[in-house]
Amino acid sequence: MPVENSNQKLNPTIIQIENFSFFYGKNQALFDIDLSIPEKEVTALIGPSGCGKSTLLRSINRMNDLVDESNHRGRILIQDQDIHDTQLEVISLRKRVGMVFQKSNPFPKSIYENVVFGLRIAGKTNKNDLDEVVERSLKASALWDEVKDRLKDSALGLSGGQMQRLCIARAIANQPEVLLMDEPCSALDPVATAKIESLIHELKKNYTIVIVTHNMQQASRVSDRTAFLYMGKLIEYDETETLFTNPKQQQTEDYITGRFG
């Protein structure tokens, strides 16, 4: 089925997915995905459970490499560099592509040490530099004012919403180009969800964001463009407002109006 795209002028493409298929052993999860993701916008991936949206998201930073017997066909390029190039180290890729998971996963360390964890692994030890990163990252994740006087306290003492914002701070401490979010609000209450959604609007000024969400209202609120996947195939990709108000494909309309899924 052809994928419809609007003719709206995009920001420059940062992620180019070309004829990409993905397999878990003999089970094919994605089929010939073609998708151009513009920089410094929010792109939402929607679709029913099992449609392949999280598989696609995790392919962008090669998290799926951790799954036994997984393999792929096709290409994913970031800034025109093939992420599966044998010359590219996965660690360096994941510095460029941060990730925030569905369930907040702070380490059993202080708030400060959570933020600088990746920097310490990279060998950075200068306290002034680390202090600067902590303040910058916590401000960018809208958490600084709430925790600036207790940076030495355990991160596990934060609320669920604060933990998720801390995980965002940790993800952006390395100043990645791309931030992947896999259902970042699914475990949060409406107030915490609203804070994360407001934060996403601020973060896209500096980062390209790709978000997986089951919540179509959330997709319509936070994203600039939306891709609808069904049974591992990309059915439609367009400006979010257009896709939700005037979808080109009947399957898309059926899904967003609740006829299936």
- R_g of the chain computed on alpha carbons: 18
Residues 127, 198: Cα–Cα separation, whole Å: 31
What's the pLDDT at 187?
84
Mapped onto helix, strand or coil, the DSSP state of residue 137 is helix
pTM tops 0.95, yes or no: no
3-state secondary structure 179-232: EEEECCCCCCCHHHHHHHHHHHHHHCCCCEEEEECCCHHHHHHHCCEEEEEECC
Per-residue confidence in pLDDT tens, the chain, 261 aa:
445 454 455 689 999 999 999 999 999 999 999 999 999 999 999 999 999 999 999 999 999 988 989 999 999 999 999 999 999 999 889 989 999 998 888 999 999 999 999 899 888 889 999 999 999 999 999 999 999 999 999 999 999 999 999 999 999 998 999 999 999 998 888 999 999 999 999 999 999 999 999 899 999 999 999 999 999 999 999 999 999 999 999 999 999 988 765
Burial environment of residue 166 by CB neighbours within 10 A (0 to 12, 13 to 18, 19 or more): buried
Residues 29, 21: Cα–Cα separation, whole Å: 7
Which residues have C-beta within 8 Å of that of residue 158, sequence separation ≥ 6? Answer: 106, 111, 147, 166
Residues 94, 251: Cα–Cα separation, whole Å: 34
